Structure 1
């Protein structure tokens, strides 16, 4: 029997994540999410008008949770160590068949046709760039040649590009690639000191 329509958006996102973990992205439907949460399909539709909107909300939730967790861990760290923690977090998600990146890149494709998804993804990327820029600025390091905002965009682009390559190549050398990204970040810090 379905529960009354007093389920939270977070409960529906948890149901969707369970559905994906159990059956994969391809079998995720609003109906499956409703069944997993014990509510009607209309309740899910009320919160997420489309499957793509649901996928976006999952990606946004995972992204924000990751950044909040990172901020909690790096509050007392030096800026360089905070960036190291951010790279370690990104490295842990960079793997063949990564759940998060499969969702993210599915949405990127959807965003080519759907302006609302494209706009929401753009906002999410700007938030990530801003958070990374704040980490770079955390200890006051700045360089005129490469401002922290631009450095954040480049680092984020590297991370997303590495994730795409890891999704497509089971033998992708994740550790070597991330070691190189960390060396690039250290060069930025060295130049700004």
Structure 2
């Protein structure tokens, strides 16, 4: 029988992940120091290493959380915004997701990143399909595009250097969005 995790252990794990997510988003993966993460999360290093035995396992979990949040955002946006506006707002979050993805993939070994990228493409493709279908139903999105097209177009985000991020992350997404609009 598998023993359920204690509430405090789950809370510690969640705090560690949240601190690591903030640090990766703010400073990048190169600056991620596990002892600083443990301290800011209010846990000992032993606790951190029990949950995440290596830096890579923590980064993979940070990435998984980013994917889950991004995928879950699509239907919530459609509840409060027109489809094209929802897609525009979702693209804003894609830019932030790509910043984390770029850092994580640079830090994690090739065999691991292939697995986490494959895990994200299905759910992210589903989220894009949801947004595109809603836009098509509203007469706002072209009929001839699919999630694969959008994934290819937004793939540039993971290739941007930090010094060009603020200049090149969001504006090209607006260009992509304009190209998706029905004329």
Structure 2 residues not aligned, in runs of 5+:
1-7
Count the aligned residue pairs: 172
Partner of 1:155: 150
What RMSD over aligned residues (CA atoms) do the two structures have, in Å? 3.4
Within 5 Å, give how 1:13-32 maps onto structure 2: 13-20=17-24, 25-32=29-36
Tell me, what secondary structure is at the counterpart of 1:137? helix
* Counterparts of 1:88 and 1:23, CA distance in 2: 19
Partner of 1:109: 106
How does the TM-score come out when normalised to structure 2? 0.71
**Mapped pair 1:177 → 2:160:** no
* Counterparts of 1:105 and 1:61, CA distance in 2: 15
**Mapped pair 1:74 → 2:78:** yes
Partner of 1:186: 181
**Mapped pair 1:131 → 2:135:** no
* Counterparts of 1:32 and 1:72, CA distance in 2: 34
Tell me, what secondary structure is at the counterpart of 2:43? coil
Q: Deviations over 1:70-113 (max 9, x none)?
A: 4323225443343233234435x3xxxxxx544312332345x4
Note the C-alpha offset of 1:12: 0.9
* Counterparts of 2:168 and 2:113, CA distance in 1: 31
Greater relative CO (CA pairs within 8 A, separation 6+)? 2
Structure 1 residues not aligned, in runs of 5+:
94-99
